[in-house]
A and B are shown apart, each in its own frame.
With several copies, the nearest count.
Chain A
Amino acid sequence: MLMRDEIKAAAEAVLFVRGEQVPIDELVEILDVPLLDLKGIMQELVMEYNEKKRGLQIVFEDYTYLMCSRAEYSDFLARMNKTVQRRLSPAAMETLALIAYQQPVTRTEIESIRGVKSDKVLNHLLDKGLICEAGHKAVLGKPLIYATTQEFLRIFGLAGLKDLPRLEEDKKNVRQINRRRDND
């Protein structure tokens, strides 16, 4: 069994690493401390953070604990000009690549090549402004067609779509895909 101070320290570490709201039940499980004991200990910890006017605080709400920065220091945080680099998920990258090379393309076409449902990943790419809806295909059902945007060209450093690197096997594959599409 851990000492009171150790439990506090371990709870700090857990909340720090998670950086999101952690339900009290989960904390009970991770730290292996009975619920009632933990509640009391966490109350003390929250108060310690508040008394010392630290840069961080622990907020208890809806049976969850959240470690976050204190509102007083939000100005500094806004001043951080350092940008965070985000990577696209493999699924998003793959879908984006398909659209880039095969545009304009419908969702059904994308899904038939990827072999998986792609509505969520398409919405994600739309939100990021990397693709846009570019009208409707003139076939039964008039499905939406997707294309890449200026933003896409900008972040990948392309002057235009014709600057996309050509693949050796590209032509053959496109033919194959078209064939498959016709068969569907």
Chain B
Amino acid sequence: MGYMVDLEAFHGPMDLLLYLIDENQVDIYDIPVALLSEQFMAYLERSGEYQLDMMGDFLVMASYLLHLKARMLLPAAPGLEEEAEEDPREELVQKLQQYRKYKEAAEQLVNLQMGKTKRVFFGNRDAFAGENEVLHAELRLLVKAYQAVLERFEEEEPQMHIPQEDVNVHEKMDEILQVLNEKEGSISFVELFARAVRRRELLGLFLALLELVRQQKVAARQEETFGDIRILLRVGNEDVDEG
């Protein structure tokens, strides 16, 4: 499996996850979390260049899947057998279905736009715009247009390409611990990953974080599903208190 994967083809982690569910022909109500999280991570590792700002979203999902996998491995608490036990995957299933609903809705909208399904057409308002027209002038759009033209202009200039060296996970682990010490033992996931400049570095940072969690040197806390995660430095066995 040495081929490169184009992560860009998936417009987000939910899309990739749905793809993997289809690909494995598994039931959405009985997701094999261990298998999917493994494949999900494999995709991230094998993916080609990808927009950095979106990589963070994929990593949030990856950490959620790993967390879910861990919960699935825990034995059911004794004495609670009579109560209907909640499947830890239920929230994910609902999220996936909700997402799939809008993905399908988007396809229906495209069909409407292209006239593949019956639609109406409005009149041609451009034909009659006379003296009553006002220009839609928004300063934000003006600034954006200026930035775009300058960027285009810059692209034409020859640019230096710095070769990328590989990222060492152990170095990254030290780096995370150092940052946590500087930040009094607590940093947000997003803030931590905002430091990374390159995709390989992001992935290295993420693997380093996983290793630190495994070694129980840091703890990760997520307040809500897909919400930001706080990384906390552990002192002995106690979590450092926030704030």
| Contact between A and B in the complex (any CB pair below 8 Å) | yes
Q: Given A84-B134, A127-B141, A115 and B146 touching (CB < 8 A)?
A: no
A contact residues around B102 at 8 Å (CB): 94, 97-98, 101, 113-114
| A-B contacts at CB below 8 angstroms, number | 244
**Most chain-A CB neighbours within 10 Å: which of B87, B107, B121, B136?**
B121
- Minimal beta-carbon separation of B91 from chain A (angstroms): 11
The segment from A27-35, A45-53, A157-165 that touches chain B is A157-165
Within 8 A of B (CB), among A54-96: 57, 59, 66-72, 74-75, 77-91, 93-94, 96
Give complex CA distance A97, B119 in Å: 16
Cβ–Cβ contact A97 & B137, under 8 A: no
Q: How would residues 107 to 118 of chain A score, 1 for a CB under 8 Å from any chain B CB and 0 otherwise?
A: 000011111110
- Minimal beta-carbon separation of B233 from chain A (angstroms): 27
Cβ–Cβ contact A167 & B120, under 8 A: no
Give complex CA distance A180, B139 in Å: 28
Nearest residue, chain B, Cβ from A82: B132
B contact residues around A176 at 8 Å (CB): 29, 153-154, 157
Cβ–Cβ contact B142 & A156, under 8 A: yes
Give complex CA distance A167, B97 in Å: 12
Let me know if A17 is at the binding interface, CB within 8 A: yes
Cβ–Cβ contact B135 & A93, under 8 A: no
Partner of A165, one of B14, B117, B124: B117
Cβ–Cβ contact B12 & A116, under 8 A: yes
Let me know if B3 is at the binding interface, CB within 8 A: no
B contact residues around A91 at 8 Å (CB): 11-12
Nearest residue, chain B, Cβ from A56: B123
Q: How would residues 99 to 128 of chain A score, 1 for a CB under 8 Å from any chain B CB and 0 otherwise?
A: 011000000000111111100000000011
Give complex CA distance A90, B107 in Å: 9
Cβ–Cβ contact B137 & A20, under 8 A: no
- Minimal beta-carbon separation of A120 from chain B (angstroms): 8
Give complex CA distance A111, B157 in Å: 16
Within 8 A of B (CB), among A132-184: 153-159, 163-165, 167-170, 173-174, 176-177, 180-182
Give complex CA distance A88, B11 in Å: 13
A contact residues around B152 at 8 Å (CB): 115
Give complex CA distance A113, B124 in Å: 35
A contact residues around B126 at 8 Å (CB): 19
Cβ–Cβ contact B145 & A154, under 8 A: no
Nearest residue, chain A, Cβ from B132: A83
Number of A residues, CB within 8 Å of B? 71
Cβ–Cβ contact B29 & A17, under 8 A: no
Let me know if A18 is at the binding interface, CB within 8 A: yes
Cβ–Cβ contact A94 & B11, under 8 A: yes
B contact residues around A59 at 8 Å (CB): 120
B contact residues around A182 at 8 Å (CB): 84
Cβ–Cβ contact A113 & B99, under 8 A: yes
A contact residues around B120 at 8 Å (CB): 57, 59, 68-71, 74, 157-159, 163
Give complex CA distance A77, B119 in Å: 9
A contact residues around B107 at 8 Å (CB): 93
Let me know if B112 is at the binding interface, CB within 8 A: yes
A contact residues around B146 at 8 Å (CB): 94, 97-98, 100-101, 167
A-B contact pairs, 17 of them (CB 8 A): A17-B121, A20-B127, A59-B120, A70-B120, A72-B118, A78-B114, A79-B115, A80-B132, A85-B135, A86-B136, A94-B149, A96-B142, A100-B105, A114-B102, A115-B14, A115-B226, A165-B112
Q: Give the interface of A toward B (CB within 8 A).
A: 13, 16-20, 57, 59, 66-72, 74-75, 77-91, 93-94, 96-98, 100-101, 111-117, 127-130, 153-159, 163-165, 167-170, 173-174, 176-177, 180-182
